Each structure stands twice: as C-alpha cells, then as structure tokens.
Amino acid sequence: MLGVELCGIKLDSPLISASGILDEHAESMIRLLDAGASAVTTKSIGNLERKGNENPVIAEVACGLLNGMGLPNPGIERFAGEMEIVKRKRANSVIIGSVFASSAEDFAILAKRMESYGASAVELNLSCPHAKGFGAEVGSDPQAVFDITKEVKKKVNIPVFVKLTPNVRSIVDLAKACEEANADGITAINTVRGMKIDVESFHPVLSCRIGGLSGPAIKPIGIRCVYEIVEEVDLPVIGVGGIVDGKDVIEYMAAGASAVGIGSGVYYRGLEIFGLVRREMEEFFREKKIGIEDIKGIAHRR
C-alpha cells in the first residue's frame, strides 16, 4: 500500500531516516530499520575523524530544535566497520551513505568508499549550516554544486542525491545545477540558520552561536522548497523538515516529494514514529479511498 520506488531502489514505504539521527553506529542504524524506516541515511562522514563543536550543541526552542553539532564523525576508514555490521545483519537493508567534504575530489573519493561499503545510494551533504568550510559554505554556489555533483557522478555507479540548503536566495538555482550535473535526486531541505540567546547571561546558547533549526517550525519552508524544485526540475526529491505525523508526509508528497526523511520527529515521538506514521498514512488512504500515487504532486495540478 505504501511501497515506492526511488531511482530504481524499491522501498516498502516512503519513510527514510534522515542523516544525523541515530546513524553513526551499526546497532542504532539497525534499530531504525527494525522500527520501520524503509532506508537509513548515515551520519555525514568525512575523510578524517572530527570531534565537532564543544557543548552545548543542542537547544530546544519553540516548535523545534537548534543544533550546532559541527559534523562530528569517526572518519571514512573507521566507518567501514559500522557499515559491514549492518550489511551482515540486515543484508537487504537500504543504506544511503551521507558524505561531506570541501572539494569535488574529496566528495568523489568518499562517495566511492561508501559504494564499496555496500551503500545503495550516496547523499552529498552540501547544506550543513554550522561547520566552517563545509556544507552550506560550499553548497550555496550553483557552480560548486555542479562541479561536485559532476565529479561524484563520474566515480560511482549508485544513485547520487544532493542535499540542498534553504539558506540561499534561490534553492531552485541549486537544484537546476544538480540536474545539469546528472544527479539522480535531490534531498530538500537541511536545517534553517537560527540562534538562541540566554536572557539571563545574554550569551548565545550554542557554543558555535548560530546553528540549524529543525522540527515543525521549518515544515512550511521544506514544503515550499520541494514544491518549487518539482515545478522546475525533473528529478525525484526526498522531502525533509518538520515531519511528525502521517499528514506531514502526505503534505510533502502532495508537493511532489517521492520519499521523505524523518529526523527530529524521533525526538518528539521516539523510534516508534516510523510505525505510527505508517499506520496514520494507511488510515488516511483507506478513508479517502485513494493510494500513494494519487497524491504525489497533486498540488501542482490544483
């Protein structure tokens, strides 16, 4: 009832776990799969181990979470063992390997390593808003997006998704650069730049001062970005941002998303969110007497 196909990858539902949520270690990735995620996107992995920013790196705000993690990760060499465990225990699982770097050449090397580890697809993180020299600092320029995507596509045979930042004048310009570079799909969006100040000390709460806002507050931005991309670009889109329940997924799919990534929703509803959202979607379709293909992109036809 909820099955979809994404760039030739068959998924039993459109529900993918977004990068950065319980996805650095094999056992936590397996827990996500067991909870009902149809695919798991790994933590963004770089060439070398990175400790990330000093605490505090997370703050709760109205309708969302601010984070300034700074891309902590074990490095691509050590991550091989985690991928090996997942593939051994869940041989048919769909793992999307997320990578970050500061150059097209390094992105290509990392993507190729993820492919060799058994990743079903690779996601290029060109959108982290709080890691100097990486993420959105690289991915805000359409030419850089084109160059990086083109280089990765030369080196791998698995689908390449590009995760875009909303913190730009036009996310559609970035999406068009992806299409011109023959990307297989787009992930939209990453977090929105935000800040919180403690009114007792008057200091920024996050150690890096400015972080990324996620959660329900950014869903309207995510919906708008997916809608605009689908209007202008002929690539499948994974919609991410503020998904907490089944109707949130349906809204993203009505905007044209082919699948969705659930991230901070795990904070609000626990790992059970994947099963809960599946049931909520199934109930919606039964009540409306329609199927998942009936709603995909329907907002563009109204």
Catalytic positions:
128
Residue 209 three-state SS? coil
Q: Using alpha carbons, select from 99, 156, 95, 151 the residue that is nearest to residue 126.
A: 99
Q: Amino acid letter at 181?
A: A
Axis-axis angle for helices 26-35, 76-89 (nearest 10): 40
CA distance to 48, 61, 190, 265, per residue, from 64 (Å) = 30, 5, 13, 10
237 neighbors 256 (Cβ within 8 angstroms): yes
> Which residue from 262, 268, 273, 280 is spatially nearest to 40, judged by alpha carbons?
262
> Is residue 85 within 8 Å of 36, Cβ to Cβ?
no
Tokens encoding 295: 């709603």
Sign of CA dihedral 253, 222, 208, 168: positive
Alpha helices in the chain (DSSP H): 26-35, 76-89, 104-116, 136-139, 142-155, 171-180, 219-232, 246-254, 265-269, 273-288, 292-295
CB neighbour list of residue 17: distance below 8 Å, 6 or more residues apart: 23, 32, 37, 39, 40, 41, 261, 262, 263, 266, 274
